[in-house]
Each structure stands twice: as structure tokens, then as C-alpha cells.
Amino acid sequence: MNKIPPITGLPSNTLITDLSLAIDFEKGAGDIEKLRFATTGVEMKGSGDVDLKTLDFGFRLEGQVNNDIMQVSPLCVIDQRYSGVDWPLDCVGNLASESGANCKLDVALIAQQIIENEAKQQIQDAVEEKASSFIKKLFGG
């Protein structure tokens, strides 16, 4: 059971610490390359495209949350299972629309990364344990 109280006193706005974008335009289409933005504790990178005739756009961002998020609030603690995991976000929309972008988080890919990371850690732990045991036997420990 989580006994940490709800986070209160969070800032009402978010300072963007890094924002960059490169777009190549050709024949009424924009190829979005190197889309990047960051806030304290969150880094997002991605790419996509925009159709200048229809104003439709689509892009994929991959974000990572890191322990710097604790600067926002000490209660924003990241479970180590999620550290270094890319959070893929697919967004589509229209620049003329007031509703903004429709974005979906690729939960299956997140779960796959977590499972792979945990399996790698278990293998590494087992190898280290066997190596330690072997070294102790080798040197009479």
C-alpha cells in the first residue's frame, strides 16, 4: 500500500528547459526532425510530419522521466523499474483545430522494456553470484 500522501503545492506552470525543432519543407509537406523538449525531470525526443495543405500533423515522441523530477517535488519519486525506459507517445491532429493533438501512449512497448530490463538484471545478478562463488572456491574462500 502506498503510504505517501498526495502531492500538494505543485507549480501551476512548467518551465521548459530545452526546446528545439528542425523542419524540412518540400512540396507542401514538412518533415519534422529532431523535435526535442525538456522540463525538469522529463526529456522528450521525436520526429513527425505536417501537411501544409490540410494542416494535419503526426509525430512520435519518446520521453524519459529521471530523478531530477524530485526537484519539482520531493514526493515525485521514480521507481527504478521505470528509470531509463522510453515512454513512446504517438500524436496526430490538425493545426487549425482547437482540440489540439490526440495522443496515445504505447503501453505495450513500455511493458516490454520493463520486462526486458528486469530479465537482464536477473541474468546479471545470477552471473555475478556464480562468479563470486567461483572466485571464492578458486582462492579457497
What secondary structure does DSSP assign to 88-127, as a single string? EEEEEEETT-TT-EEEEE-HHHHHHHHHHHHHHHHHHHHH
Is the pLDDT at 4 greater than 80? The verdict is: no
| Phi-psi domain of 9 (left: phi exceeds 0; alpha: psi -120 through 50; beta: other) | left
29-41: pLDDT as tens digits = 999 998 999 999 8
Rounded to an integer, the average pLDDT of 1-14 is 66
Q: What is the pLDDT of residue 1?
A: 44
What is the residue extent of each domain of the chain? Answer: 1-105, 107-141
49-101: pLDDT as tens digits = 999 999 999 999 999 988 888 888 777 788 878 878 999 999 999 999 998 88
Q: What is the pLDDT of residue 7?
A: 65
Please provide the average confidence, as pLDDT, over all residues in the chain.
87
Global pTM value: 0.68
Separation between Cα atoms, residue 33 and residue 111, nearest integer Å = 27
The dihedral over CA atoms of 100, 104, 105, 108, expressed in degrees to the nearest 10, equals -170
φ, ψ of residue 113 to 5 degrees: the values are: -65, -40
Separation between Cα atoms, residue 133 and residue 102, nearest integer Å = 54
